[in-house]
Amino acid sequence: MKYNYLTQEGYDRLEAELEDLKTNGRQKAAAAIAEAREKGDLSENAEYDAAKDAQGLLELKINNLEKAYANARVLDTSTMDTSKVVVLSKVRMKNLRVDKEITYQLVSQSEADLALKKISVSSPIGQGLLGKAVGEIAEVQTPGGLLKFEILEISF
């Protein structure tokens, strides 16, 4: 079984989205089908077909979110070790190619947001950082070439 490790914030967001789709999303889909049904012959009713397709996609999304929710595990950073980079670590590092410091937090793929400096543990940089300790060099192969990052600090 593959767990989906989330922050409390990510878990709450997943739970809220799932609840919204189950209630509001299903109500909207049912209303769209009912409205299209009122327009007459269902065999030639493109609106009805589109509404049924949208309902199917909604149910697929709900199903996928339910699986993610069932496999979700909230990580408690207060009990985690900062000696090595793990999921939810905030890593201050130096890009040795451009001699510039940057800080990223490693999160699950569903919580990744580069604008917030949250990168996925399954990304090339995330994979390169996992398990590293302060002072170590993480080598990351990217499409633009090999990047080297010196780990300066690990926190939560």
- Give the chain's domains with CATH numbers: 4-74 (1.10.287.180), 77-155 (3.10.50.30)
pTM of the full structure: 0.62
Q: How far apart are CA 91 and CA 95, in angstroms?
A: 12
Exposed (0-12), middle (13-18) or buried (19+): which is 148, by Cβ within 10 Å? middle
DSSP-derived pairing of the beta strands 118-120 and 145-155: unpaired
The pLDDT-based confidence of 108 (bands split at 50, 70, 90) is confident
Dump pLDDT digits (tens) for 23-64.
999 999 999 999 888 887 777 778 888 999 999 999 999 999
| Crossing angle of the two packed helices 46-70 and 26-37, in degrees rounded to 10 | 170
Dump pLDDT digits (tens) for 55-67.
999 999 999 999 8
Average pLDDT, the chain: 89
Residue 155 · residue 148 · CB < 8 Å: no
Dump pLDDT digits (tens) for 73-87.
887 767 777 889 988
